[in-house]
Structure 1
Amino acid sequence: MSEKSLSIEALQGIDSASEDRHHLSCDEKTRATTPNDQETLDKQSFRKLVTHVSEAPDGGFRAWLVVFAVALVSFSTFGFVNSWGVFQAYYEEDLLRHLSPSTIAWIGSIQYALVYLPALATGRLFDLGYFKIPCFVASCVIVACTFLTAECTQYWQFFLAQGLGVGVGCGIIFSPTLVIVSHWFSKRRGLALSVAAIGTSCGSTVFPVAAQNLIPLIGFKWTVRVFGFILMATLGMANILLERRLPPRNVHGGLFNLKAFRNKAYTTYCISGIMTLLGLYTVLTYLSVSAVAIGVPKDFAFYLIAIANATSVFGRLLAGLMADKVGALNVMVPYTIVSGIMSFAWPFAKNESQLIAIAAIYGFSYGGYVSLFSAPVVAMGTMEDAGRRVGMFMSLIAFGGLAGPPISGAVRTATAGFVEAGYYAGKSINTRSLSER
């Protein structure tokens, strides 16, 4: 959808509450003006409101400072969650080695799902103006549960603290921040979202590398505590810098706006998002484990996740620059096709070099998709309802993130290898690509 059409929809989406705020002043001016003067005043008032709602600065110090704050949020939420593959490998070999890979994967999959699932509620709350307090409370929950993870010894403890606690905290913060970026950027929205998403790449790189180097030196407990201190600093700064531009709007409707699904493009996009997440996190979850299985040294296997997430920086930036020129969907389709192909190729890697190449290419393509996946949703309606619309989308695709890694783990266990798991992931991702073409 073009920016011009988006502006037209924004005009159409101005509700009666906005008109009521100007009704009194317009009536007062009507008493002292002619019909022609009244028409002029009405047009000027309408133009002021339209400028306030639809026009974004698309740059400037304050706008880019908000992008930096969103990058800190991405670092602390998706960046931390995307390092799950390191925990999966460590738990399989040490703390939870008596459990199956599929059972352990539920901790990570519940994290992935909960980053998206609360968006249904938080998106609606954001539209109504409730953001600062939920953001602060969720930040405290993430930090507290990270410190609690260091004290866990049993599976149910890890599931509650690392899976549920960290996941819910991340989910409360993540979705509204994507809408905040769209408050400040319109024509350059793709670039702004991609720059903000670099925080995810940085976090996904820093945490695995730190774990690899710190666990042998200070042990698992203190390594996780260091992560807690890092999150305390990054989330604290983000809470100070985050600021919405547009005022809250009480758009008609409840928590779940079924009318949005009358738009066939929106419905198709939601379905395709679920399919993508059914396979998207398989490679990131099992990459290190599969490397150890073919004889790659454990010390090096942990770095594969960091390599994938580091190369995603370039995928995110390039995707953002291209999206502003040719459209987000036109960029996302080839990116997801490459991700699917790499998922097929991953189980056939025989040595370190091949795994590095697959990790790098997969990270590049995966990063391009996740940096833009909210942009089409924002463009499928008015900005006043963007929080709820993005929230519904993210809550729906959460079910794909929840089921994907455990299904991959079950396939791996049943087939005693990773080949079928790779086929499963690749087919899920490429089914999404075909549905969008």
Structure 2
Amino acid sequence: MNTAPVELQFIDGPTPADTPLTFSAQSSMNALRAVDPQDGVNVQELPAADGGVRAWTFCAAGFVLEMMVWGFGFSYGIFQEYYTSHPPFESASSVSVTAVGTISLAIQYGETVALSLIFSRYPDYLKHSMWFGLALYFASLFASSFATQVWQLIALQGVGVGVGGGLLYMPVIRLLPEWFSERRGLAGGIIFAGTGVGGFVFPFVLNTLLNKVGLRWTLRVWAIGTSLFSGIALFGMRSRFPVPKFTAGQRRPKFLPPQVDFIKSPLFWSFIFTTVMQGLSYFPVSLYIATFTKSISDQITATAVLALFNSSAVVGQVILGHLSDRWAYPSIMVVSGLGSALGAFFLWGFASSSIALYFFATVFGALSGGVSATWTNAASECVRGKPEFAGMAFSGFAFFKGISAVVGPIIAGLLLEAGRGASMGHGFGRFGYGAVELFVGSCALVSSFGGVAVALSRQRVLS
């Protein structure tokens, strides 16, 4: 049973000029005291947070959107392998083909900051934007089925899908802090596990479709399927608080509120540094693990390893998210970084069979893919005392991880080109991947040191 204090919120009636436009538990109570109940103001009890049908409906809808948007994005390795080995794109450079997937993910991560600021000023447009995002996502992915050159794929499957996916997913980031507080880590872990579920199932489905109906109809079928499932999920994206209404003469909040102090916080920036290092480690693996596996085995095994890599994040997200509600999340970040580094150095570095890659995909996928479940609690602590800015802090994390989504694969691609299929000796770094494996492991190791910096900064905030 939820024993949190009952929150009240106005749904109509006059509103004093000094009533906060940002809805939170505190602002609701302040508004209640500011207006005389005799003035005809209607008062409504808010739906329960951390439980209840509406809260868990939101969580389920967020899971579906996470699966469709991010699960597809992290399955791009299947398309990358297909594009580089089938017409009309087989003659294109591997860097340009890789850019299609990395640009899409980078935009989805990066646009969250801009969207967070926009919807802080225009919260009444959030509902319209998510449906526009779905339409843009469908149109871009469907149109990409007619592409004949890589630049067209970059514009449609990269930029168009990225922008549409970000708009489609934004309600999850903005509304999660409204629905969950004490169980925020668990709820975030469940929602973020959608990436792992999609990342496990989608490579097999996409590989089957590519073999059965070809590239063009695969993209068309996927555009239709994504629109159907995401459209249903959007009906569960409802705000817990009444959406404020603005008249023509009413002043809206500023794009950047003057009281946003968390951007000066050492905790915020140490967490961002750690997130960037973790992203530099994670994204090269998600893009190149299938290609590396195919060098050792066959396409079916490569698909299975990529699926296992993505699906391991399901377990990692839920477990690490639940643990972050009980234990200090910096310690989880340290363990994640160390475990990921050891996996990259030894399991991937010395891999000579698919068995080693199965173990690597499981360990690295769970630890590195699951650490983002700590974001919700970290965002809450960064904006300590101002929970209405938690979504903005979360968006900051996503923006900088988007940078790593572009930089990491570019560096890995350059290192792979420099290796040119050579081994570093003693069984390490087969097929020219030695420098990539060292880069991945080193970034993961630095992220564990970053977790220590987060722990020290956190002590200063909580003291």
Contact 1:75 1:203 in 2 (8 A): yes
Which residues in structure 2 correspond to 1:96-115 (within 5 Å)? 96-115=89-108
| 4+ long deviations beyond 4 Å | 19-24, 26-29, 247-253, 255-258
115 and 89 in structure 1: CA distance in 2 versus 1, 3 angstrom threshold: same
Please point out which of 267, 270, 276 is paired with 2:269.
267
Which residues in structure 2 correspond to 1:277-426 (within 5 Å)? 277-294=279-296, 296-345=297-346, 346-381=348-383, 382-416=386-420, 417-426=432-441
- Structure with more relative contact order (C-alpha pairs < 8 Å, separation 6 or more): 1
Which residues in structure 2 correspond to 1:81-230 (within 5 Å)? 81-95=73-87, 96-128=89-121, 129=123, 130-230=125-225
Hey, what does 1:8 align to over in structure 2? none
**How far is the alpha carbon of 1:155 from its aligned partner?**
0.5
313 and 132 in structure 1: CA distance in 2 versus 1, 3 angstrom threshold: same
**How far is the alpha carbon of 1:390 from its aligned partner?**
2.1
User: 2 CA distance for matches of 1:136 and 1:347?
Assistant: 44
User: 1 CA distance for matches of 2:223 and 2:153?
Assistant: 15
**How far is the alpha carbon of 1:292 from its aligned partner?**
1.7
Contact 1:255 1:388 in 2 (8 A): no
Contact 2:48 2:55 in 1 (8 A): no
1:429 aligns with 2:439: no
Task: Identify which range, 125-134 or 153-162, moves more after superposition.
Answer: 125-134
Task: Identify which range, 160-169 or 101-110, moves more after superposition.
Answer: 101-110
172 and 255 in structure 1: CA distance in 2 versus 1, 3 angstrom threshold: farther
User: 2 CA distance for matches of 1:255 and 1:138?
Assistant: 26
Q: Secondary structure at the match of 1:244?
A: coil
Could you tell me which amino acid in structure 1 is paired with residue 325 of structure 2?
Answer: D
262 and 248 in structure 1: CA distance in 2 versus 1, 3 angstrom threshold: farther
Q: Secondary structure at the match of 2:91?
A: coil
User: 2 CA distance for matches of 1:27 and 1:76?
Assistant: 46
Q: Normalization by structure 2: what TM-score?
A: 0.80
Q: Secondary structure at the match of 1:57?
A: coil
**How far is the alpha carbon of 1:112 from its aligned partner?**
1.7
**How far is the alpha carbon of 1:279 from its aligned partner?**
2.1
Contact 2:133 2:168 in 1 (8 A): yes
User: 1 CA distance for matches of 2:380 and 2:264?
Assistant: 16
User: 2 CA distance for matches of 1:253 and 1:127?
Assistant: 7
Which residues in structure 2 correspond to 1:13-32 (within 5 Å)? 17-18=19-20, 21=31, 25=35
User: 1 CA distance for matches of 2:396 and 2:259?
Assistant: 8
**How far is the alpha carbon of 1:26 from its aligned partner?**
5.3
**How far is the alpha carbon of 1:207 from its aligned partner?**
1.5
Q: Secondary structure at the match of 1:17?
A: coil
Give the root-mean-square deviation of aligned CA atoms.
Answer: 2.8
Could you tell me which amino acid in structure 2 is paired with residue 435 of structure 1?
Answer: G
**How far is the alpha carbon of 1:58 from its aligned partner?**
0.8
Could you tell me which amino acid in structure 1 is paired with residue 434 of structure 2?
Answer: V
**What CA deviation, in whole Å up to 9, does each residue of 1:67-122 have, x standing for no partner?**
01101110111111000111111112224322332232111111121111111121
**What CA deviation, in whole Å up to 9, does each residue of 1:327-355 have, x standing for no partner?**
33332331233223323332421111111
**What CA deviation, in whole Å up to 9, does each residue of 1:184-241 have, x standing for no partner?**
1111111111111221112112221112222222112222222112201111012111
Could you tell me which amino acid in structure 2 is paired with residue 332 of structure 1?
Answer: M
**How far is the alpha carbon of 1:255 from its aligned partner?**
7.5
Give the gaps of 5 or more residues in structure 1: 5-14, 30-47
Q: What is the number of equivalent residue pairs in this alignment?
A: 404
If each structure's helix is expressed as a fraction of its own residues, which one has the higher value?
1
258 and 61 in structure 1: CA distance in 2 versus 1, 3 angstrom threshold: closer
Could you tell me which amino acid in structure 2 is paired with residue 322 of structure 1?
Answer: L
User: 1 CA distance for matches of 2:341 and 2:258?
Assistant: 32
1:233 aligns with 2:223: no
User: 1 CA distance for matches of 2:311 and 2:364?
Assistant: 11
User: 2 CA distance for matches of 1:24 and 1:268?
Assistant: 40
User: 2 CA distance for matches of 1:392 and 1:353?
Assistant: 38
Could you tell me which amino acid in structure 1 is paired with residue 445 of structure 2?
Answer: N
Task: Identify which range, 190-199 or 255-264, moves more after superposition.
Answer: 255-264
